[in-house]
């Protein structure tokens, strides 16, 4: 960063201090510098104003964007006696997001032509300050620049879900010659044990009708139940085709016979008492 005539600039425009660092050879330095070129969005991201912003969030984003691990700000304050005359440079080595001062020194130039040499020497001496501070353990990364740990997610209770629909959807195709045949087929399907519902999908009394059946078992079980009632059955993965040997459908099975309840035991005892001979 350069401060001259009361104006602080970084890489917003090309300057002699930026050129001095671009020409500085860092091969012999223990510091692995990430030097900003000033191209693209650099003037908007790394400018003089950023060095005075204490917000850690933006500093973290910049370090990740430029592949750096810490912040070093090499500052020079230029003072000229008059244009082209003697000049003095106050060099300050800063570190971290809070502009901690590592060290500083002052150099002079006899005239305007000597300013580039003065800045080149200033870059070398600032590198020495940083190298000495690194060896002394003073260039420690601020812990606030580390990303905070992710929040702990709350433990949700385990929800056990059972089968939402215990029935199997089976399409039944009924082939008959009239509407009575179809009606008897519907009656058969609705009386088969395990059938939850039988919904007409397409009614064609003189041909093939389609019925959607919700059944508690599988296709083979429903097919066996229909075959036991006299239907001719053909099965597919989820389809059952039924028809009869004649134009008439099989007869419905008779309803189950309800057993006659036995008379109460008390009445039987009373009758037996009345039939017994008296002494």
What is the residue-level pLDDT of the chain in tens, covering all 279 positions? 999 888 898 888 888 999 999 899 888 899 999 888 888 888 888 888 888 888 888 899 899 888 899 999 999 999 998 988 899 999 999 999 998 999 999 999 999 899 999 999 999 999 999 999 999 999 999 988 888 888 887 887 776 665 556 788 888 888 877 777 778 888 878 888 888 888 888 887 777 888 888 888 888 888 888 888 888 888 877 788 887 766 666 666 665 566 666 665 555 444 444 444 454
The CATH classification number of 2-139 equals 3.40.50
**Of the options 3.30.70, 2.60.40, 2.40.50, 1.10.357, the CATH number for the domain spanning 168-243:** 3.30.70
Q: By C-alpha distance, which of 234, 228, 174 is closest to 205? A: 174
* Tokens found for residue 2: 């350069």
Q: How far is the C-alpha of 124 from the C-alpha of 20, rounded, in Å?
A: 9
pLDDT on residue 252: 62
Give the chain's largest Cα–Cα span: 159
Q: By C-alpha distance, which of 99, 91, 161 is closest to 119? A: 91
Task: Confirm if 51 and 1 have CB atoms less than 8 A apart.
Answer: yes
Instruction: Delimit the CATH 3.30.70 region(s) of the chain.
Output: 168-243
Reduced to 3 states (helix: H, G, I; strand: E, B; else coil), residue 221 is: helix
Alpha carbons within 13 angstroms on the beta-carbon side of residue 56 total 8
Q: How far is the C-alpha of 137 from the C-alpha of 256, rounded, in Å?
A: 96
Instruction: Delimit the CATH 3.40.50 region(s) of the chain.
Output: 2-139
Q: How far is the C-alpha of 103 from the C-alpha of 95, rounded, in Å?
A: 10
DSSP-assigned letter for residue 121: H
pLDDT on residue 70: 92
């Amino acid at each position: 960063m350069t401060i001259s005539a009361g104006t602080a600039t970084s890489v917003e425009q090309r300057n002699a201090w930026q050129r001095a660092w671009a020409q500085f050879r860092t091969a012999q330095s223990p510091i692995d510098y990430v030097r900003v070129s000033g191209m693209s969005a650099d003037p908007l991201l790394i400018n003089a104003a950023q060095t005075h912003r204490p917000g850690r969030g933006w500093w973290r984003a910049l370090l990740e964007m430029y592949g750096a691990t810490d912040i070093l700000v090499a500052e020079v304050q230029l003072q000229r006696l008059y244009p082209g005359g003697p000049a003095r440079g106050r060099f300050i080595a800063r570190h971290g997001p809070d502009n901690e001062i590592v060290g500083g020194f002052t150099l002079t130039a006899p005239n305007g032509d000597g300013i580039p040499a003065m800045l080149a020497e200033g870059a070398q001496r600032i590198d020495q300050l940083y190298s000495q501070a690194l060896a002394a353990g003073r260039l420690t990364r601020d812990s606030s620049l580390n990303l905070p740990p992710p929040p702990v997610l709350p433990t949700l209770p385990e929800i056990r879900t059972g089968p939402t629909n215990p029935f199997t959807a089976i399409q039944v195709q009924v082939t008959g010659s009239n509407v009575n045949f179809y009606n008897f087929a519907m009656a058969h399907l609705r009386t088969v044990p395990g059938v939850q519902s039988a919904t007409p999908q397409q009614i064609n009394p003189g041909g093939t009708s389609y019925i959607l059946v919700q059944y508690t078992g599988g296709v083979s079980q429903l097919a066996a139940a229909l075959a036991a009632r006299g239907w001719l059955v053909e099965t597919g993965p989820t389809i059952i085709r039924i028809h009869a040997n004649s134009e008439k459908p099989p007869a419905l099975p008779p309803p189950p016979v309800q057993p006659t309840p036995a008379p109460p035991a008390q009445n039987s005892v009373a009758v037996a008492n009345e039939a017994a001979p008296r002494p």
